[in-house]
Amino acid sequence: MKKSTWIAAVLALSLPVAVLAAATLDETIAAAEKEIAAAKKMNGTWLNTEKQLDEAKKLKAEGKNDDAMKLAKRALKEAELAQKQAKNQPNPKPHYQN
């Protein structure tokens, strides 16, 4: 097999992987947005979750998909945990030590 044919084959096979990774990032961002909205309905959002998602969107626009995916996954996890916390602690109150 000629070297140019081999390179073309490798590029053709790697392209769908890159497209799949981008789709997964979009899906993760969409899922995080959905979970953040659900956490807001429960009055249980955390402070940095939306900031992380905004930063993930910014990194995606810059082409830094790996870093964007890390932040999008973190925002998704935090939104899920915020909902769980809101469910388990529906009326949180501060506790002060005397």
Higher pLDDT: 18 or 78? It is 78
Q: What percent of the chain stands above pLDDT 70?
A: 77
Please identify which residue in the block is written with the tokens 């769908």.
16
pLDDT at 20 over 50: no
CA dist 19 to 15, 24, 65, Å? 6, 9, 11
Of 8 and 56, more confident: 56
Summarize the confidence of residues 8-25 as an average pLDDT: 54
Tell me the domain boundaries of the chain. Answer: 16-87
The pLDDT of residue 78 is above 90: yes
User: Quick check: 41 pLDDT over 80?
Assistant: yes
